[in-house]
Structure 1
Amino acid sequence: MGNAATDKPAGHPAPHEKIKTIEELGEIARAAQADGLTVALCHGVFDLVHLGHVRHILAARNEADVVVVTITADRYVNKGPGRPIFPENMRAEMLAALGTVDWVGINQTSSAEPVLDTVRPDIYVKGSDYENPEDDVTGKIAVEREAVERHGGRIVFTRDVTFSSSSLLNRYFDIYDPPLRDYLQKVRDGGGAERLLKLIDKIQDMHVVLVGDTIIDEYQYVTALGKASKENIVATLLKNGEQFAGGVIAAANHVASFCKSVEIVTTLGGNDYPEEFIRAHVRPNVTLTPIRVQGRPTTRKLRYVEMGYLHKLFEVYTMDDTPLDEAARTEIDRVTTERVRGADVVIVTDFGHGMIASSTIDALIANSKFLAVNAQSNSGNHGYNLITKYPRADYICIDAPEARLAATDKFNEIASVIQDGLHRKIDCDNMIITHGSFGCYPFSSKTGVARVPAFTKTVVDTVGAGDAFLTITAPLVAAGGNIEDVAFIGNAAGAIKVGIVGHRNSVEKAPLVKFVTALLK
């Protein structure tokens, strides 16, 4: 006798049997189309399956003989902290359990285009919120339409009851800690995403110049073998490695997605790194203005990284930060003065590795329409590269330890460090002090100090997160943005960046807009 609770009717596969790779879905679609059947594809996150999703898929069923649903892999979901709520395997299984769905796949790329090129559906089903390309914050619907039509398919937009998984989760599920939940509600009540997105759009025509040190960041990935038998060291096995264009180069790539044009003024070693490597790692709207300094290397930071958890084990610097000779210093100051004039925003990423001296600071202050500065304290300059060497700036963005060092204040509350310490030492009316898992502290001379909670607790790699925060927020301050709104957007940028290994990718406008929108639905 069968078990009524577990037996399934003949001809109805178990959910896990319907989950296939994207390549397998392509083969299934080819076979179905060869038999004269039509194939419809739905694609999305499907984090919380609701009635809107059910009717969306039912509409696809009414359009075609075979319905395929593909979902975005966890690492490409830009919906805010803690998202997706349900991991990709659970989301796939939930969809596969629906009788209206024939096949399910997990897209392991950041775009639907590879799925469309592989499955080649006759019909690509999208929600009505994508029907007007101008309303698509990702800008991807045009690319997806082209991919569908390239293979002879067409797009169908469903028009039925519309829900938002993000809105439902934000409203009915405790997915955020109470302080963050309450803060997000306060922002919603004050105008929400619309105000923030308008601010982001205000900077799209700006010309931004960045001045700072180029750094070649290199990761060598290793696995631990164990303690050496005769030494108190851990032996490791080298597996592979990768190099990134870091420092000011990575910083420029972040802001390039938000502003019309970006220029980098930087120094490179005499002949150790070819410009081709640097130029190959900048975005198309970024112009590189390098100043070659003979007799010293381009700064390089080599980190040995444990592969399993991306823990950094050891770091080796290659650099020469001794004072430059008069000719080199004069050339740096001349080029800096020439290039920053006329820029809407000048952003200084001062890593303290020898490029920026007091004369350069004077040139920056005298010739910048709007000057934003970060002076970083790192293991190569600790205690010698304080933000207070800049007597004036329009915007400062540093982290809490850097703020305490500059204010010579180890113990007081960070609000006091900012208002009673930094603000009295530097002529600057707008500051944001980042503070890791505590969020950030925006300060304006008009409104005082506030706090914006952190938006993520999932950290893959912190390298470059502060630079992403600085470069994306600086134009927003220059555009007249409320400093707390700017801090909100900066926290979103930082949350995205800490999910990226090294500088493999930049923070881009479309994912940031999606992140902010999802938080505030």
Structure 2
Amino acid sequence: MTPSPQRKILDPAAIARQAAALRAAGRTIVHCHGCFDIVHPGHIRYLQFARQLADVLVVSLTGDDRIQKGPDRPYIPQELRAENLAVLEFVDYVVIDPHPTACELLEALRPDVYVKGREYAGSSDPRFEREREIVERHGGRVIFHSGDVVFSSTGLLRSLARDQQLDEHRLRALCNRHGIDTASTRGALDAFTDLRVVVIGDLIRERYVICDAVGTADDGPALSLRRLGEQSYWCAAGATALQLAALGARPTLISVVGSDPESRTLEAQFAERGVSSVLLPERPDIASRSTFVADDTRLFKLSDSPAHPLDSSAERRVAAALRSRLAGAGLVIWCDHGYGAVTPGLVRSLRDHLPAENGPKVVGAAVGPQADLLGLAGADALVVSERQARETAHDMGSGLPAVAWKLLHTLGTGALLISLRKRGLMSFRPGVTSDPAAADRLRSDFIPSLAVFHIDPLGSDETILATAALTLATGGSLPLAGYLAACGEAIAVSRAGGRHVQAAELADWLGQRPELRPESRFQPDSATPADLARIAPPLPMPS
């Protein structure tokens, strides 16, 4: 029987012990380090070259959390990348390095030879200079491979279409790494039931104006539309509260409305849908905006109401209403869409009245160019779009991990969940370390979009916010919160009209997810023939 390549894959502590034993036996060690997202011919030549330089070849690969090549990288999860290297006959050991550089591993391995690509020969990168110093201090030497066959994993990935089976492997690796399974997701949904939540923020009526595009206007280069009808939905804080109720929580909505007759009926309307509310008449009218739609395409969005920030007297009244509803609440959600219901003074008021320990979890969201994400500093978690994150950090060019690092440190928040829209979600949290030099490390997870169809984004932001916030407030991890939010979003965007995702609906969806089932058709390579026969039995032969 062929030995399993898994025997070659060791953790950092085990490889350090093995290296010490090899040195004691007089064996020499050569070390290669990289991402190895897709093992291509350039990698093969590089590793074969290295294998000739010593008795034992150790290959380390950068862990998923430390790769900063884009939101959907690595393309291959670390477990599969390690297996891809371990099956190579000339590779003796593989280790997944949890650090951003190979420095810690080099200190432990003390290789005789450290091989890098030729692009590093003239490099002054301080990270590589540190690696070189460690190798040479322990008596080793750094050698550069000629790189006569040049490939790029990034370039190859750009030419590949999305692979559904690989997406499932990535999701399975994410779930395995963080203990996300059928039991944990079911337990999270059960914990949502009857959790008391206070939602405070802008209440906005979204009007969908359904049109027929009839051509261009006679008097200029403008699109000509014929109005067919109109549908209205709640968004922002109102939609978030309704989504919380649909998931089984007990939300209280605090917002500002107008003094018109319609505004006075809203508390009763929300109560009919399971949301208690305190709606104070502090605006001229209900905030509203219109989206014009033709042939299922959103043409443009029109804001019908200006921002109307609370004055000091109104702020005190809203703060009093907020404080009166905090007793017994396990979660507070801020929804700042830039229409004036969320102010810095209101945020400070909540912060000053929350207990230092055992208080409710505070989660915030800022949406739109007038929203103030910086004003939500100090929240336990923030849910934002990539554009909002980049605009707040004033950084449109850096990698997303760098942007997330800036925001986490600037805002003093413990977690970020960033929506990449149709690409998926990415979560960031500070790494847990006792090393002061490593205090800036991030833990991150990318969840590809689970939606098969993207029909209408209306309500998807609120679904992500409500689902993630409930998960965090009930003790769930950030990876679990991101995964459940991605599932909720996939349901929300697959239909028109912003219908809220029901708890039973989400539970049914999770019950069909292959990465949560131990008996998925997409089995790892270690599945036995008996496993495959049980899961995918052969078709009966025709008689």
SS at match of 1:469: helix
Alignment partner, residue 363 of structure 1: 349
Cα 1:425–1:179 shift into 2, 3 Å: farther
SS at match of 1:202: helix
CA distance, structure 1, for counterparts of residue 271 and residue 209 of structure 2: 22
Cα 1:188–1:393 shift into 2, 3 Å: closer
Cα 1:425–1:341 shift into 2, 3 Å: farther
Alignment partner, residue 220 of structure 1: 209
Alignment partner, residue 438 of structure 1: 423
CA distance, structure 2, for counterparts of residue 263 and residue 184 of structure 1: 35
Contact residue 208 and residue 232 of structure 2 kept, 8 A: yes
Please tell me the residue identity of whatever aligns with 2:493: V
Cα 1:210–1:188 shift into 2, 3 Å: closer
Query: Matches of residues 65-214 of structure 1 in structure 2 within 5 Å?
Result: 177-186=164-173, 189=176, 190=179, 192-214=181-203
SS at match of 2:303: strand
Contact residue 451 and residue 494 of structure 2 kept, 8 A: no
Please tell me the residue identity of whatever aligns with 1:299: A
Runs of 5+ consecutive residues of structure 2 not aligned to the other structure: 1-160, 433-442, 518-543
Query: Matches of residues 333-412 of structure 1 in structure 2 within 5 Å?
Result: 333-368=319-354, 369-378=359-368, 382=369, 384-412=370-398
Contact residue 389 and residue 404 of structure 2 kept, 8 A: yes
SS at match of 1:197: helix
CA distance, structure 2, for counterparts of residue 499 and residue 250 of structure 1: 17
CA distance, structure 1, for counterparts of residue 459 and residue 450 of structure 2: 17
The question of 1:461 aligning with 2:448 is answered no
Please tell me the residue identity of whatever aligns with 1:302: S
Cα 1:283–1:517 shift into 2, 3 Å: farther
Cα 1:273–1:247 shift into 2, 3 Å: farther
Q: CA RMSD in A?
A: 2.2
The question of 1:479 aligning with 2:474 is answered yes
- 1:377 CA displacement: 3.6
- 1:191 CA displacement: 5.3
Alignment partner, residue 89 of structure 2: none
Of residues 245-254 and 179-188 in structure 1, the stretch that sits farther from structure 2 once superposed is: 179-188
Please tell me the residue identity of whatever aligns with 1:305: V
Contact residue 396 and residue 430 of structure 1 kept, 8 A: yes
Cα 1:279–1:435 shift into 2, 3 Å: farther
Alignment partner, residue 426 of structure 1: 411
* Equivalent pairs, count: 339
Specify which structure has the bigger relative contact order, considering alpha-carbon pairs within 8 angstroms and separated by 6 or more residues.
1
Cα 1:191–1:357 shift into 2, 3 Å: closer
Scaled by the length of structure 2, the TM-score of the pair is 0.59
- 1:502 CA displacement: 3.5
CA distance, structure 2, for counterparts of residue 332 and residue 495 of structure 1: 35
- 1:363 CA displacement: 1.6
Contact residue 364 and residue 379 of structure 2 kept, 8 A: no
Q: Percent identity?
A: 19
Alignment partner, residue 240 of structure 2: 251
Contact residue 257 and residue 263 of structure 2 kept, 8 A: no
Of residues 179-188 and 469-478 in structure 1, the stretch that sits farther from structure 2 once superposed is: 179-188
Cα 1:315–1:282 shift into 2, 3 Å: farther
- Higher-Rg structure is 2
SS at match of 1:274: helix
Runs of 5+ consecutive residues of structure 1 not aligned to the other structure: 1-173
CA distance, structure 1, for counterparts of residue 247 and residue 508 of structure 2: 14
CA distance, structure 2, for counterparts of residue 324 and residue 272 of structure 1: 21
Alignment partner, residue 152 of structure 2: none
Alignment partner, residue 263 of structure 2: 274
Of residues 348-357 and 332-341 in structure 1, the stretch that sits farther from structure 2 once superposed is: 332-341
Q: Residue deviations 1:421-478, cap 9 Å, x none?
A: 1111011112211111221111222461121111014111112211111111112112
Please tell me the residue identity of whatever aligns with 1:197: R
Alignment partner, residue 302 of structure 1: 290
Q: Residue deviations 1:309-350, cap 9 Å, x none?
A: x21223222223243333222212221222234311001111
Task: Choose which of 440, 446, 450 in structure 1 pairs with 2:445.
Answer: 450
